[in-house]
Amino acid sequence: MQKIIILFLILLFPSISYADQGLNLSCLNMLSAFGKKFEPLNYKLEATGFHYFDEKQNKFIIIPSKELEFGEDRFTVKFPEYELGFQRIVFEGQTKPTITMSKYDYKNDKFLDHYECDLKKEFIN
Residue range 9-55, pLDDT digits in tens: 455 555 555 556 788 999 999 998 888 899 999 999 998 899 999 88
Q: What is residue 24's predicted lDDT score, i.e. its pLDDT?
A: 93
- For residue 75, how far is the Cα from the chain centroid? 10
pLDDT, the chain, mean: 85
- Beta strands (DSSP E) in the chain are 21-29, 41-45, 49-54, 59-64, 69-70, 74-78, 82-89, 98-105, 110-123
Q: What is residue 22's predicted lDDT score, i.e. its pLDDT?
A: 85
Q: What is residue 56's predicted lDDT score, i.e. its pLDDT?
A: 87
Q: What is the pTM of this model?
A: 0.76
Q: Who's near 96: CB < 8 A, 6+ residues apart?
A: 90
Q: Percent of the chain, pLDDT > 90?
A: 58
Q: Is residue 91's pLDDT more than 70?
A: yes
